[in-house]
Amino acid sequence: DAGVIQSPRHEVTEMGQEVTLRCKPISGHNSLFWYRQTMMRGLELLIYFNNNVPIDDSGMPEDRFSAKMPNASFSTLKIQPSEPRDSAVYFCASSSRLGARSEAFFGQGTRLTVV
């Protein structure tokens, strides 16, 4: 099992540019989560999907952020336009179920730097 696969691993972009982060969850997992990690705020949940449907997007910071899950094996997180304060490590995680005993499997993350 290849685990959760994220791309790219690193992204450096200029302020105002569009950034697209990609995630392939573990096959068979029906829940997918996007997190952002910074030193100041720790790990924050941005949005999560269940069976490709967005369930809770209350953590998305503002309209510049959008996420899609067109099928069970692919999701994207887009930032347009990007700003320096968006610099962080973005993680995608997947889970086989929701509930008390659900385990989240994380990808290696995308380190985003907006200059």
Partner 1 sequence: TQLLEQSPQFLSIQEGENLTVYCNSSSVFSSLQWYRQEPGEGPVLLVTVVTGGEVKKLKRLTFQFGDARKDSSLHITAAQPGDTGLYLCAGAGRGSTLGRLYFGRGTQLTVWP
Distances in Å between the Cα of 78 and the Cα atoms of 24, 53, 98 are 15, 17, 25
In angstroms, the CA 66 to CA 6 distance is: 17
Report the residue from 14, 18, 56, 83 that binds partner 1 according to the rule CB under 8 A: 56
Report angle CA 42, 48, 51 to the nearest 5 degrees: 155
Rounded least distance, CB 102 to partner 1, Å:
7
Report the residue from 2, 42, 70, 71 that binds partner 1 according to the rule CB under 8 A: 42
- Closest CB to partner 1 among residues 17, 51: 51
What is the identity of the amino acid at 45? Answer: L
- Closest CB to partner 1 among residues 15, 43: 43
- Closest CB to partner 1 among residues 41, 63: 41
In angstroms, the CA 38 to CA 101 distance is: 26
Residues that bind partner 1 (CB under 8 A): 4, 31, 33, 35, 41-45, 48, 50, 55-56, 91, 93, 98-109
